[in-house]
Protein backbone atom coordinates (compact mmCIF):
# COMPACT_ATOMS: atom_id res chain seq x y z
CA UNK A 1 0.00 0.00 0.00
CA UNK A 2 1.24 3.49 -0.83
CA UNK A 3 1.17 6.05 1.97
CA UNK A 4 0.82 9.79 1.39
CA UNK A 5 3.79 11.13 -0.58
CA UNK A 6 6.51 12.88 1.45
CA UNK A 7 5.72 16.09 -0.37
CA UNK A 8 2.08 15.87 0.62
CA UNK A 9 3.00 15.13 4.24
CA UNK A 10 5.27 18.17 4.25
CA UNK A 11 2.53 20.31 2.72
CA UNK A 12 0.11 19.22 5.45
CA UNK A 13 2.65 19.92 8.21
CA UNK A 14 3.46 23.38 6.91
CA UNK A 15 0.12 24.53 5.59
CA UNK A 16 -2.28 23.33 8.25
CA UNK A 17 -0.76 25.33 11.12
CA UNK A 18 -0.47 28.41 8.89
CA UNK A 19 -4.09 28.04 7.89
CA UNK A 20 -5.20 27.51 11.48
CA UNK A 21 -3.31 30.62 12.51
CA UNK A 22 -5.00 32.70 9.82
CA UNK A 23 -8.43 31.19 10.39
CA UNK A 24 -8.24 31.24 14.19
CA UNK A 25 -9.12 34.85 14.96
CA UNK A 26 -11.81 34.88 12.24
CA UNK A 27 -13.41 31.80 13.78
CA UNK A 28 -13.29 33.28 17.25
CA UNK A 29 -15.01 36.41 15.97
CA UNK A 30 -17.60 34.31 14.13
CA UNK A 31 -18.28 32.53 17.40
CA UNK A 32 -19.07 35.77 19.18
CA UNK A 33 -21.26 37.00 16.33
CA UNK A 34 -23.02 33.65 16.28
CA UNK A 35 -23.86 33.75 19.93
CA UNK A 36 -25.22 37.30 19.62
CA UNK A 37 -27.28 36.11 16.68
CA UNK A 38 -28.57 33.18 18.72
CA UNK A 39 -29.57 35.45 21.64
CA UNK A 40 -31.25 37.86 19.26
CA UNK A 41 -33.12 34.96 17.68
CA UNK A 42 -34.41 33.78 21.02
CA UNK A 43 -35.69 37.26 21.88
CA UNK A 44 -37.35 37.53 18.45
CA UNK A 45 -39.10 34.16 18.86
CA UNK A 46 -40.69 35.58 22.00
CA UNK A 47 -41.43 38.94 20.38
CA UNK A 48 -43.19 37.44 17.34
CA UNK A 49 -45.15 35.13 19.65
CA UNK A 50 -44.27 32.00 17.75
CA UNK A 51 -44.94 30.36 21.10
CA UNK A 52 -48.66 30.97 20.76
CA UNK A 53 -48.67 27.93 18.48
CA UNK A 54 -45.35 26.18 19.16
CA UNK A 55 -43.58 24.94 22.27
CA UNK A 56 -40.00 26.26 22.06
CA UNK A 57 -37.54 25.27 24.81
CA UNK A 58 -35.71 28.28 26.26
CA UNK A 59 -38.26 30.82 25.04
CA UNK A 60 -40.42 32.16 27.89
CA UNK A 61 -44.15 31.51 27.49
CA UNK A 62 -43.65 29.52 24.28
CA UNK A 63 -45.85 26.60 25.22
CA UNK A 64 -48.37 26.54 22.39
CA UNK A 65 -49.79 23.21 21.33
CA UNK A 66 -51.54 24.25 18.15
CA UNK A 67 -48.54 23.24 16.03
CA UNK A 68 -45.56 20.88 16.40
CA UNK A 69 -43.13 21.39 19.26
CA UNK A 70 -39.80 22.81 18.09
CA UNK A 71 -37.95 20.84 20.78
CA UNK A 72 -34.77 19.21 19.48
CA UNK A 73 -34.97 21.23 16.25
CA UNK A 74 -31.24 20.89 15.51
CA UNK A 75 -31.73 17.14 15.10
CA UNK A 76 -34.65 17.33 12.68
CA UNK A 77 -34.29 16.18 9.10
CA UNK A 78 -37.26 18.04 7.60
CA UNK A 79 -39.16 21.29 7.85
CA UNK A 80 -42.92 20.72 7.72
CA UNK A 81 -42.23 17.13 6.73
CA UNK A 82 -40.96 18.00 3.27
CA UNK A 83 -38.16 20.58 3.08
CA UNK A 84 -34.61 19.56 4.03
CA UNK A 85 -33.79 21.12 7.39
CA UNK A 86 -30.99 23.59 6.63
CA UNK A 87 -30.56 27.00 8.30
CA UNK A 88 -31.12 29.06 5.14
CA UNK A 89 -34.26 27.12 4.20
CA UNK A 90 -35.57 27.36 7.76
CA UNK A 91 -35.09 31.14 7.63
CA UNK A 92 -37.05 31.28 4.38
CA UNK A 93 -39.75 29.10 5.91
CA UNK A 94 -40.07 31.43 8.90
CA UNK A 95 -40.22 34.52 6.64
CA UNK A 96 -42.57 33.11 4.01
CA UNK A 97 -43.96 29.65 4.75
CA UNK A 98 -46.80 30.09 2.25
CA UNK A 99 -44.28 30.65 -0.56
CA UNK A 100 -42.49 27.37 0.22
CA UNK A 101 -45.52 25.21 1.02
CA UNK A 102 -48.64 26.77 -0.50
CA UNK A 103 -51.68 26.18 1.68
CA UNK A 104 -49.70 25.42 4.85
CA UNK A 105 -51.43 26.27 8.11
CA UNK A 106 -48.32 28.15 9.27
CA UNK A 107 -49.09 31.85 8.74
CA UNK A 108 -46.71 34.31 7.08
CA UNK A 109 -46.07 36.76 9.88
CA UNK A 110 -44.20 39.55 8.11
CA UNK A 111 -40.82 38.48 9.51
CA UNK A 112 -37.82 40.16 7.82
CA UNK A 113 -35.08 38.00 6.32
CA UNK A 114 -32.56 39.03 8.96
CA UNK A 115 -34.94 38.39 11.87
CA UNK A 116 -35.78 35.00 10.36
CA UNK A 117 -32.07 34.13 10.11
CA UNK A 118 -31.58 34.94 13.79
CA UNK A 119 -34.56 32.81 14.79
CA UNK A 120 -33.26 29.94 12.66
CA UNK A 121 -29.85 30.27 14.36
CA UNK A 122 -31.49 29.87 17.76
CA UNK A 123 -33.66 26.93 16.69
CA UNK A 124 -30.59 25.09 15.38
CA UNK A 125 -29.04 25.22 18.87
CA UNK A 126 -31.91 23.07 20.21
CA UNK A 127 -30.82 19.45 20.68
C1 LIG B 1 -51.00 30.51 14.14
C2 LIG B 1 -50.10 29.45 14.61
C3 LIG B 1 -48.62 29.58 14.25
C4 LIG B 1 -47.76 30.59 14.55
C5 LIG B 1 -48.07 31.91 15.27
C6 LIG B 1 -46.46 30.16 14.09
N7 LIG B 1 -46.53 28.92 13.52
FE8 LIG B 1 -44.98 27.79 12.89
N9 LIG B 1 -46.27 26.36 12.26
C10 LIG B 1 -47.64 26.40 12.43
C11 LIG B 1 -48.23 25.22 11.80
C12 LIG B 1 -49.72 24.88 11.74
C13 LIG B 1 -47.15 24.48 11.27
C14 LIG B 1 -47.23 23.17 10.46
C15 LIG B 1 -47.12 23.54 9.01
C16 LIG B 1 -47.07 22.38 8.05
O17 LIG B 1 -46.67 21.27 8.44
O18 LIG B 1 -47.41 22.62 6.87
C19 LIG B 1 -45.94 25.21 11.60
C20 LIG B 1 -44.66 24.78 11.30
C21 LIG B 1 -43.51 25.39 11.74
C22 LIG B 1 -42.20 24.84 11.64
C23 LIG B 1 -41.89 23.45 11.08
C24 LIG B 1 -42.24 22.46 12.18
C25 LIG B 1 -41.91 21.01 11.86
O26 LIG B 1 -42.05 20.17 12.79
O27 LIG B 1 -41.51 20.70 10.74
C28 LIG B 1 -41.35 25.74 12.17
C29 LIG B 1 -39.85 25.60 12.32
C30 LIG B 1 -42.12 26.88 12.59
N31 LIG B 1 -43.43 26.63 12.32
C32 LIG B 1 -41.58 28.02 13.15
C33 LIG B 1 -42.33 29.12 13.53
C34 LIG B 1 -41.78 30.38 13.96
C35 LIG B 1 -40.31 30.67 14.09
C36 LIG B 1 -42.83 31.21 14.23
C37 LIG B 1 -42.80 32.66 14.65
C38 LIG B 1 -42.22 33.58 13.68
C39 LIG B 1 -44.03 30.44 13.99
N40 LIG B 1 -43.71 29.20 13.55
C41 LIG B 1 -45.32 30.92 14.21
C42 LIG B 1 -48.37 27.36 13.09
C43 LIG B 1 -47.85 28.54 13.59
List the domain boundaries for the chain: 8-123
Report which protein residue has its CA nearest ligand 1's atom 14: 106
Q: Is the CB of 94 under 6 A from ligand 1?
A: yes
pLDDT digits (tens, 9 = 90+) for 28-57: 456 777 899 999 999 999 999 999 999 999
* Model pLDDT, residue 50: 98
User: What burial class does residue 116 get, using C-beta atoms within 10 Å of its C-beta: 0-12 exposed, 13-18 middle, 19+ buried?
Assistant: buried
Q: Where are the beta strands (DSSP E) in 29-107?
A: 78-79, 83-84
d(CA 115, CA 28): 23
Is 25's pLDDT higher than 50? no
Q: Is the CB of 89 under 6 A from ligand 1?
A: no
Report which protein residue has its CA nearest ligand 1's atom 18: 104
Lowest mean pLDDT, pick from 30-39, 81-90, 104-113: 30-39
Q: How many CB atoms lie within 10 A of CB 105?
A: 11
- Domain 8-123 sits in CATH at 2.60.40.420
User: What burial class does residue 80 get, using C-beta atoms within 10 Å of its C-beta: 0-12 exposed, 13-18 middle, 19+ buried?
Assistant: middle
Amino acid sequence: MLGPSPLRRLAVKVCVPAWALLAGPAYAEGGIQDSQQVQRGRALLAQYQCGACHTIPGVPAARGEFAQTLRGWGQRSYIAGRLPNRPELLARWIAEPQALVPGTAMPSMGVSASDAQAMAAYLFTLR
